[in-house]
Amino acid sequence: MTTKPLILILCTGNSCRSHLAEGILRAAAGDLIEVASAGSKPAGYVHPKSIEVMNEIGIDISSHHSKHLEEFLNRPVDTVITVCGNADQACPMFPGQVHRHHWGFSDPAHAVGSEEEVRGEFRRVRDQIRLVFEAYAAGIRRETKLER
């Protein structure tokens, strides 16, 4: 029995963008890959608005928790994807790491304005992440199909 390749999504705080990406990628290709997220300086929580806007698209990330990237240093990681510039600069090499991608997104946790304006920024970033990570998942599906 072969294990699924682990894709690790990194962000500095592991409270917003990395959890949005983890939830979307798991929903799109979790049958083919293992997906996790972590941070170089974890915030210690998942931002409530991240949970809220993911629920709007039918993805529940309420059980996610903020983790440090060191939790994964002793695991074989196939692919590391950084979603913020700070994590890209702080990212170590992981055992077994074959691929590395950096797709930066603005941090919705820094949004200012009314409650609805902040929620709108979380939605905007979620939708950008969704476009990128669903396309990435489609590529994984194509590659898997070709290998069979």
Q: How far apart are CA 91 and CA 2, in angstroms?
A: 27
What is the pLDDT at residue 52? 98
Give me the active site residues, please. 11, 84, 91
pLDDT per residue as tens, the chain (148 positions):
468 999 999 998 999 999 999 999 999 999 999 999 999 899 999 999 999 999 999 999 999 999 999 999 888 899 999 998 665 555 566 656 678 899 999 999 999 999 999 999 999 999 999 999 999 999 999 988 887 6
In angstroms, the CA 130 to CA 53 distance is 12
Domains and CATH numbers, the chain: 6-147 (3.40.50.2300)
Cα 57 to its chain centre, rounded Å, is 16
CB 56 within 8 A of CB 49: no
CA 34 – CA 139 distance, rounded (Å): 15
